[in-house]
Chain A
Amino acid sequence: MTDVAGAAPDQLAPRGRSSILDLIRATEIDLRQFGMVVALIAIWIGLGFQNSTILQPVNFLSFSVQAAGTAILATGMVLVIVSRNIDLSVGSVVGFIGMFYAHLMANVFPATIGVNHPLAWIIALAAGVLLGIIIGGLQGFLIAYLEIPSFVVTLGGLFLFRGLIWQLSGGTTIAPDDPTFVLIGGGPEGSLGGTLSWVFGVVICVAAVYLLVNARRQRRRFGFPLRPLWAEVLIGGIAIAVVLGAVVTANSYKWPAGLATQYALKHGIVEPPGGLQIDAGIPFPLVILIGVTILMTFLATRRRFGRDIYAFGGNPQAAELAGINTRWTVMKIFILMGILCAISGAIASARLNGGTLDLGTGYELYVIAAAVIGGTLFAGGVGSIPGAILGALVMQSLQYGLSFLQFNSPQINMVLAVVLVAVVGIDQWARRRSR
């Protein structure tokens, strides 16, 4: 979707001489996102030079789990910012819903449906999503219908829900979560395992190839210009290589020996010499992130809802005159954000096996930064979900890598701050030049 992706770089007037840029342009890949992928690879190569142990599969897995929480929120933040709004409350809402899950499972369920009820995790999750819808709907209503600026409403939300976390928990940590619920947070048991990871990877590859072939067939049917066949094959090939590479990486991490022994005992398996080797596979938070990304991209680019958001962000008056129900559209964006907070809160609470007072603190800034690094413009109307995911991965890579290299968190924050401002600065310069 070239019309909604980051707008500027691909509008450079075609130059006479053939260059790498022209080749990339032929593939119709967004140059900005291409640059971010390059930056991401560069970051990890740089980290690998500093300390090669960071390139072990286990680090990629725990990095992906850590990134999932904010990346999920970033997909929604893109739409919020595209609609000329902002949501500062996401961190507090994630924390509040996270604490709510813990409260349900540690305090409410034992007294009602009993401990370890097989459906406990899904009941908790459904209640959390409902809470997210209510919170998002309330904030969205105040913003869309009462026309209170979103900055103010969600700044209030930031304080209110952080306060409610204390009210709900009585100022302490609440634990534990339901043991099945905990799997949402990843870890060796909270992963797909070897076989399912392969199935998952192959399904995604087949879907990607189908989409490419189908898009080309459609364009040919209508007689539109096609991109060169080599570009299609290249894109499909890269997509398949990335997906299958991720599966191989995830499967090459084996369960820790102690956990594998426990598993063998429980299932009456005789451990072979050298211990039972169980592939961990793709962690559930990453599966959830991939699912959310696909769904949100679909909503943003293939549905009226998404088109309405981009139209409203580009020209609110035009959207209104076109008969779009702009208030309801804005309210729906915040409801969606509430649902994403419930999902992110579930991952955060499950990882900690409970609710803590500082859960989600500072998320709003990471998430907004991810969206902005990913090419979302505060002026509205421009921003892409894949871009925001890349933005979140860049932020989290630096965060994860630098803390792996023993930098302390104030130092890491300073690096992230410089990167954020520098990326946006370079972007502005590139956009101005391309005009």
Chain B
Amino acid sequence: MTAEAAAMTTTTAAPLVELRNINVAFGGVHAVRDVSIDLRPGEVVGLVGGNGAGKSTLTKVLSGAQRADTGQILISGSPVEISNPRDAKEFGIETIYQTLALADNLDAPANLFLGRELTSRLGNLDDDRMEDATRKVMGRLNPNFQRFNMPVKSLSGGQRQAVAIARAVYFNAKILIMDEPTAALGPAETAQVRNLVRQLKNEGIGIFLISHDIHDVYDLADRVSVMYHGRIVDTVNKHEVSTDDILGMIILGKKPGDVTASELEQLELRG
């Protein structure tokens, strides 16, 4: 699918997921303020912002790791209740966390099936079937991977990331949340993950991509939402803005048109 075609589906398909007027506060800190955002099939929406802008908290609301104080979540147009990670997974929402959320002491198959193990009729773990499935999924993502019986602690960053992504792929995610997927990776592994994102996108999966790396986002995303102090500054179509416009929004928290000349000057001084 070309970028133009992707942009077209962006405007025609029904939203896969829609978050409306989400608010989350921790004590006095308003981490997410009245945020609305949506995602369509086969679309990558980049979520960017400085530290503490509320990106991670917002996605945790969708992945069930954090409850919103107020607001609504709609999946394919109908309102749903997501109160824990299990609920989210039932709606086809898979999350790849910044910290990877792998149990370091367990091997790749155990991690892939964590919390959703395949069992025999008697309820015993079917490790062979899980290893078989893991070998098949990993064969698609990282054909060289062989260390299926090693604790994931002993794997490289890219291999660990592949295990985390394999988890989402195996369970047929419809909505994928990737929190800093390339933060811990070297250049070759980053390229691998980028290819993977494009592959998943072409399969019609909707992806929220959270990243500090503006180039990652600009390269992969169809739309970009910029967060600043818990609010969405703006959601823009990638083709209508430059990376500098996005940087300006991240740092100043204002839409490109609202930036004053003196602020622009300061920004350039800083840059």
For A340, what are the chain B residues with a Cβ–Cβ distance below 8 Å?
none
Is the Cβ of A304 less than 8 Å from the Cβ of B125?
yes
A135 at the interface (CB under 8 A from B): no
Interface string of B85-98 (1 = CB under 8 A from A): 11001000001010
Hey, what's the 0/1 contact readout for A308-336 against B, CB within 8 Å counting as 1?
10110111011111111000000000000
| Contact B105 A322, beta carbon cutoff 8 Å | no
| Cα separation A207 to B95 with both chains bound (whole Å) | 42
Q: Is the CB of B106 within 8 A of A314?
A: yes
A15 on interface, CB distance cutoff 8 Å: no
For A306, the closest partner residue in chain B by CB is B125
Confirm or deny: A155 has a beta carbon within 8 angstroms of a beta carbon on chain B. no
Chain A residues, CB < 8 A from B105 = 3-4, 7, 310, 313-315, 381-382
Report A-chain residues with C-beta under 8 Å of the C-beta of B63.
Answer: 321
Number of A-B contacts (CB under 8 A): 98
B51 within 8 A of A: no
Chain A interface size, under 10 / 10 to 19 / 20 to 34 / 35 or more: 20 to 34
Q: Which residues of B contact A230 (CB under 8 A)?
A: none
**Cβ–Cβ contact B125 & A314, under 8 A:** no
Q: 1/0 per residue B45-76: CB within 8 Å of A?
A: 00000000000000000010100000000000
Q: Given the complex of chains A and B, what is the CA–CA distance between A315 and B123 in angstroms? A: 24
Q: Are A323 and B84 in contact (CB under 8 A)?
A: yes
Beta-carbon contact of B86 and A323 below 8 Å: yes
Which of B104, B124, B132, B154 sits near A315, CB closer than 8 Å? B104
Closest to B65 in A: A321
Residues of B within 8 A of A (CB): 63, 65, 84-86, 89, 95, 97, 99-107, 110, 114-117, 119, 123-125, 127-129, 131-132, 149-151, 153-154
A/B interface sample: 24 pairs, CB < 8 A: A3-B150, A4-B105, A11-B150, A218-B128, A221-B128, A304-B117, A304-B123, A307-B110, A307-B125, A310-B106, A311-B103, A315-B102, A317-B101, A318-B102, A318-B114, A320-B85, A322-B85, A322-B115, A322-B116, A323-B84, A323-B85, A323-B115, A324-B114, A381-B104
* Known A302-B124, A303-B125, A317-B99; 17 more pairs at CB < 8 Å: A2-B149, A2-B150, A3-B106, A3-B149, A218-B128, A224-B128, A224-B132, A303-B124, A310-B103, A311-B106, A313-B105, A318-B103, A321-B85, A322-B115, A323-B85, A323-B86, A323-B115
Query: Would you list the 3 A-B pairs with minimal beta carbon distance, nearest first?
Result: A322-B115, A314-B103, A314-B105
